Amino acid sequence: MGKKVGAVYIGHEKVEFCVWAPFAESVEVHFEKSGKFEALIKDEKGYWFKEVQNIPPGATYKYRIDHKDEFPDPASLSQPQGVHSWSQVVDLKAHQWQDELWKGRKLSEMIIYELHVGTFTRAGTFEAVIDKLDHLEELGINTLELMPIAQFPGARNWGYDGVYPFAAQDSYGGVAGLKKLVDACHARGFSIILDVVYNHLGPEGNYISQYGPYFTDKYHTPWGSALNFDDEYSDQVRHHFKQNALMWLEDFHFDGLRLDAVHEIIDRGARHFLKELSEKTDELEAKTGRSYALIAESDLNDTKLIKDYESGGFGLEGQWVDDFHHALHTVLTGEDAGYYADFGKMEYLAKSFKQAFIYDGIYSPFRKRSIGNNPEGMEPSNFVVCIQNHDQVGNRLLGERMAELVSFDKLKLAAATLLSAPFVPMLFMGEEFGEKNRFQYFISHGDPDLVKAVQEGRKSEFKYFFHSHSDGEFPDPQAEATFKNSKLKWDFQKDVQQDQLFNFYKELIRLKKDGAFEMFGHQNTIFEASEGKNLLKVSAQEGNSALIGIYNFGKSVYSEKTSEKGNFEVLIASADKKWGGDMDVEELLKAESITVPPEAVLIYKS
């Protein structure tokens, strides 16, 4: 096993410096304030290290390689002057944690809320998120998921261009602000998960390859060179990123990690990096007595990620399911461009509601090959589903949210489909009140050539999302206005429908947490999909009790005779007057038939 990398503050102005640079002839630490150089010692694995005295927290430094070039620390904890400048010593033990009694929660209990720190609030900082916890608590959220916060170029970025995986973005508030946020979440009973990127590093400020073979030419990702997880010298690269993951969990008290695009973490070795990471996380659970959740994003629909070790799996707790989003989105909007061509059928929505994966080994016309495997035997709580997320909104050319694409009635129908399905639900910030400010792609790179490449790349990569109903021009990712226009407005209570939608979400989440929809996760649940009527009916029975959901995506009223007159309980009816509809639920209970208006949902127990 390798050494602990970075500048580890021991206390009493002592710092243990360590960096992996196997081919270097010499490595020195250069301190900005004093101008002094301190030569490090090399071990047999290529680590350069030394304990240095009289270095207080806040001291800034770089590494000089072979008496020539100087670079920031690839395991820097802080980059206060940006990605090209000096790294900073941080005392990770300076924060006095208040969450000793916190034990975390299982993925199966989570109601997740994905947010981008920079656009979630006007201030765009970790501490500003704390001010919105009242709102999230009222909504019923119990888990925050932060989009990546590893130091990136400039002050605005989605976070997937991070180049210092150990450093909390300085413009968000750095280490101190982040720890305050995590502590505040735990004090309120919130779990908090961090999105991390182990498939590539961003292009600007990426100096890690100057130290050694952190990348491999064997593979290529859509974003550049692949990280070296299975080539020569890969042991220390694997160690670097496992250390990073464990740091977020142990030193920053995060309750889990969302692992970005794991299909681009390319490792053909006998022990996959993700399995090793899962095993190390299990060891940390045993050490701390806390629960941690590792959630993978993958477009392969491969249950190997979440199967247990004994079954040959990687043992991760969960994975994102794009199929559910795509099935629901296409039925709601009618969009069929790009990968949406593989969806758009009610039978597919029914299949995804039942087992998460639609593509479970069947042929994909868009990809022109068979995709996925059968998720039979997997628990619903292994799958995280959504109707909006940063990718599916922000990777539209214009960044339109669902509220701009469909009617108010369809927003309620989508919310009820999400929250009554048996999986772990995830909301995207602002979804709960129908935010209409677009969430667009933004950067603040310093390299003009890189800026131009990103601008042109965005136009070509997502052109199939440019629909005639979308107004406005292509948003320039580099423009500050694109970033500012993506911020949430937070005045939703002034709008009657937005406030109704918020309260509708609140009620759905309450029902979800109370177990009102649990029967829909049973093996004997019956799914009836009608393509002609654009209708999905879900029925489950347990003893003398039945749970029935009628999801009417069509434009006609759906009606069916009932023998249950007055003998059933309406759990949620999106067309109810209190949610902005025209239905009188009291009258429905007396009627001879069950009626569901167009673009509405009715879920009841009998």
In 3D, which of 114, 102, 129, 103 has the Cα closest to residue 424? 114
Q: Is 261 annotated as a binding residue?
A: yes
- Any catalytic annotation for residue 28? no
Q: Is 54 left (phi over 0), alpha (psi -120 to 50) or beta?
A: left
The answer on whether 260 is annotated among ligand-binding residues is: yes
599 Rama class: left (phi>0) / alpha (psi -120 to 50) / beta: left
Q: Length of the chain, please? A: 606
Residue 287: count of CB within 10 angstroms of its CB: 9
Q: Is 262 annotated as a binding residue?
A: yes
What is the C-alpha to C-alpha distance for residues 283 and 18, in angstroms, rounded to an integer?
24
Contact status, residue 218 vs residue 256, Cβ threshold 8 Å: no
Question: Tokens for 480?
Answer: 């500050």
Find out whether 282 is annotated in a ligand binding site: no
156 is in an annotated binding site: no
**13 is a catalytic site residue:** no
- Tell me: is residue 395 an annotated ligand-binding position: yes
Query: N- to C-terminal Cα distance for the chain?
Result: 59
10: left (phi over 0), alpha (psi -120 to 50) or beta: alpha
- In the three-class reduction of DSSP (H, G, I as helix; E, B as strand; rest coil), residue 197 is classed as coil
Q: Is 325 annotated as a binding residue?
A: yes
CB contact at 8 A, 416 and 378: no
Q: What are phi and psi of 496, to 5 degrees?
A: -60, -50
Q: Are 551 and 536 in contact (CB under 8 A)?
A: yes
Asked if 465 contacts 396 with a C-beta cutoff of 8 angstroms, the reply is yes
Q: Is 183 annotated as a binding residue?
A: no
From 297, 335, 404, 435, the catalytic residue = 297
3-state secondary structure 498-567: HHHHHHHHHHHHHHHHCCCCHHHHCCCCEEEEECCCCEEEEEEEECCEEEEEEEECCCCCEEEECCCCCC
Provide the token pair at 81: 């002057």
Buried b (16+ CB within 10 A) or exposed e, 217-247: eebebebebbbbbbbebbebbbbbbbbbbbb
Q: Establish whether 302 is an annotated binding residue.
A: no
Q: Which residue among 161, 170, 230, 260 is the active-site one?
A: 260
Whether residue 299 is annotated as binding a ligand: the answer is no
Residues 544 and 379: their CA atoms lie apart, in Å, by 25
Asked whether 470 and 398 are in contact (CB, 8 A), the reply is: yes
Contact assessment for residue 234 and residue 271, using Cβ atoms and an 8 Å cutoff? no
Q: Would you say 357 is a known binding-site residue?
A: no
**Per the annotation, does 186 bind a ligand?**
no
Give the H or E element holding residue 38: strand 37-39
From residue 399, give the alpha-carbon distance in Å to each of 286, 288, 344. 42, 41, 21
Q: For tokens 């999230």, name the residue.
A: 136
Q: Please check if 391 is assigned to a binding site.
A: yes
- Known binder of ligand: residue 326? yes
* 259 annotated as a binding-site residue: yes
Of 69, 55, 60, 59, the closest CA to residue 24 belongs to: 69
Burial class of residue 361 (count of CB atoms within 10 Å of its CB; 0-12, 13-18, 19+): exposed
The rounded distance, in Å, linking the Cα atoms of 339 and 220 is: 22
Rounded to 5°, angle at Cα 509 from 511 and 389: 145
Which are the catalytic amino acids?
260, 297
Known binding-site residue numbers: 258-263, 322-326, 390-395
Annotation: binding site for substrate: 258-263, 322-326, 390-395
